[in-house]
């Protein structure tokens, strides 16, 4: 089913460029050949339907080919971050229990060492190993069978393994294609990591569904390289994250010219700040849209409408075949402009987490996904995210929104970043802690003075921690769990 979607695109757009990487340019027909070659290697290494295959590959043609080769064989794709150290990789491989690990020369040695340590019955397959074109037919799989395992970022706890089916992925790709109106004429800058839901869904799947060309970069380490790629490759779609757009917005004035081919730049993974939005718009004449998605559902909404006034803050309307409601703590529907928990029904959402029955029951009820995010829908159906349900701090029986405190502290001219969390005290209560990255001289009392007299005393941080940086995921999402330890 997933492979069939890619194969249909390869047949329709065979000679068109499928992917441009720093080292090679391949047509859809050439990618298809690589898919069949990898499929032969997978079959020869005893891969069966339902077996798991870990990908330790950077953004590029090999990742794309491996994804659809695994689908051809009916296996489960398990993409992991190539930056993981041995201990992290050990934890993920122990959970995934793969039959095969596909890697490149850079990641092969560490993968073999971890596999030996875990005594896994697992084959390491290097993408450079030659193989014949696969002669066996594509595996027949049920649409509901698992096709992808991805791990949630675990911003508030241990990462959860999310199981996505073949039909989930095809539906996600189709929903995005309809809503973003992607076509074979588009050229997508693929710098968001493919191991993450954002890069996988809005780059890999988006191209496979539409025939759009992917222009891949292995990372976002060079602003100059990204700007050159945007212009020289005439990029039309740029899925990014806030820190990427912030760096581009702060680029030297010599880069101040419109990106005339860029019709859709959208940010996901964390909230976009107004300063970045306004500076990027002024410099490049392109509004940054916001997309709302999750590992459990893929993309859920995208702001393709107005960005005037405060509309830029919105993550837009629900994608095709996605239904968004706002509910109170009892599960009752809330009216327009009233904040509550964001609840999703989608033909692309997972049905639960692997081996986590309690977490599944908490988040998935009555064929709905309770996201744990807070927000509201306006009268036009535009969704605005206001916070995270689990981030609320219970300070002496009072519910405190950390965002309120963060906003006050962030206004200080010598504060670069701030995150507010609740920390358990010796009496079992929560006290408010502010983790601060300073950009100039500042004291703990200065931080408290930002709040004193402006909010109730119980909201004033009791603990102030100055840090060199705030812990974040690869896509820039704050990992609060490391701030409460």
Mean pLDDT, each 10-residue run in order, the chain (485 residues): 97 98 97 96 95 97 98 98 85 93 90 88 86 88 97 66 97 98 98 95 98 96 92 97 90 76 94 91 95 96 88 96 96 97 97 92 95 95 88 73 90 96 74 96 97 87 96 84 86
Identify the pLDDT of residue 397. Answer: 61
Amino acid 120: pLDDT: 86
Q: How far from 124 is each of 37, 95, 136, 224, 259, CA to CA, in Å?
A: 16, 17, 22, 36, 42
Identify which of 219, 220, 223, 212 has the alpha carbon closest to the alpha carbon of residue 188. Answer: 212
| Predicted local distance difference test score (pLDDT) of residue 154 | 52
CA nearest to 271, candidates 37, 99, 475, 54: 475
Structural tokens at position 456: 């109730």
Write the CA distances from 181 to 42, 206, 208, 237, integer angstroms.
35, 10, 14, 11
pLDDT of residue 157: 53
Q: Are residues 20 and 209 in contact, defined by beta-carbon separation less than 8 angstroms?
A: no
Strand blocks (E) in 142-272: 146-151, 161-165, 187-190, 213-216, 237-240, 264-267
Q: Where in the chain is the domain with CATH 3.40.50.12780?
A: 1-390
Query: For position 360, what pLDDT does the model report?
Result: 94
Give the pLDDT confidence score for residue 404 in this predicted structure: 85
In the chain, where does the domain assigned CATH 3.30.300.30 lie?
392-483
CATH placement of domain 392-483: 3.30.300.30
> What is the rounded distance in angstroms from the CA atom of residue 383 to the CA atom of residue 376?
6
pTM: 0.85
Return the pLDDT at 134.
86
The CATH homologous superfamily for domain 1-390 is: ANL, N-terminal domain (3.40.50.12780)
Q: Which two tokens stand for residue 81?
A: 């971050």
Which residue carries 């398990």 as its tokens?
Answer: 78
């Amino acid at each position: 089913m997933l492979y069939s979607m890619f194969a249909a695109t390869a047949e329709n757009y065979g000679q068109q460029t499928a992917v441009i990487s720093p080292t090679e340019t391949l047509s859809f027909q050439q990618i298809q050949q690589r898919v069949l070659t990898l499929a032969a290697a997978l079959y020869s290494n005893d891969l069966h339907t339902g077996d798991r295959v870990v990908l330790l590959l950077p953004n590029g043609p090999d990742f794309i080919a491996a994804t659809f080769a695994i689908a051809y064989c009916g296996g489960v794709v398990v993409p992991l971050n190539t930056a993981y150290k041995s201990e992290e990789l050990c934890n993920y491989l122990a959970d995934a229990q793969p039959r095969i690990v596909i890697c490149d020369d850079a990641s092969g040695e560490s993968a073999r060492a971890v596999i030996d340590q875990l005594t896994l019955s697992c084959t390491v397959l290097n993408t450079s190993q030659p193989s014949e074109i696969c002669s066996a037919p594509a595996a027949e799989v049920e649409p509901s069978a698992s096709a992808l395992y991805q791990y949630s970022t675990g911003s508030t706890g241990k990462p959860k393994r999310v199981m996505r089916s073949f039909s989930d992925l095809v539906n996600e790709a189709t929903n995005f294609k309809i809503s973003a109106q992607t076509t074979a004429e588009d050229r997508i800058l693929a710098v968001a990591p493919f191991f993450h839901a954002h890069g996988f869904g809005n780059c890999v799947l988006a191209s496979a569904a539409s025939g759009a060309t992917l222009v891949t970069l292995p990372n976002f380490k060079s602003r100059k390289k990204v700007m050159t790629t945007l212009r020289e490759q005439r990029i039309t779609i740029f899925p990014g994250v806030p820190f990427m757009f912030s760096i581009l917005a702060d680029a030297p004035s010599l880069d101040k010219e419109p990106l005339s081919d860029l019709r859709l730049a959208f940010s996901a993974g964390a909230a976009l700040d107004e300063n970045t939005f306004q500076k990027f718009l002024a410099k490049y004449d392109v509004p940054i849209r916001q997309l709302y998605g999750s590992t459990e559902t893929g993309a859920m909404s995208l702001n393709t409408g107005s960005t005037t006034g405060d509309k830029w803050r919105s993550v837009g309307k629900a994608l095709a075949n996605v239904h968004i409601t706002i509910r109170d703590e009892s599960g009752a529907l809330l009216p327009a402009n009233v904040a509550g928990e964001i609840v999703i029904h989608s033909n692309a959402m997972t049905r639960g987490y692997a081996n986590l029955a309690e977490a599944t029951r908490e988040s998935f009820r009555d064929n709905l996904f309770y996201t744990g995010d807070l927000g509201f829908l306006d009268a036009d159906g535009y969704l605005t995210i206001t916070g995270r349900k689990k981030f609320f701090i219970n300070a002496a029986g009072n519910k405190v929104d950390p965002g309120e405190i963060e906003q006050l502290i962030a206004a200080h001219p010598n504060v670069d970043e701030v995150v507010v969390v609740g920390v358990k005290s010796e009496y079992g209560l929560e006290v408010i802690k502010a983790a601060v990255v300073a950009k100039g001289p500042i004291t703990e009392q200065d931080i408290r003075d930002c709040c004193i007299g402006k909010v109730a005393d119980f909201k004033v941080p009791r603990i102030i921690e100055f840090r060199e940086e705030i812990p974040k995921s690869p896509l820039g999402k704050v990992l609060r769990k490391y701030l409460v330890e």
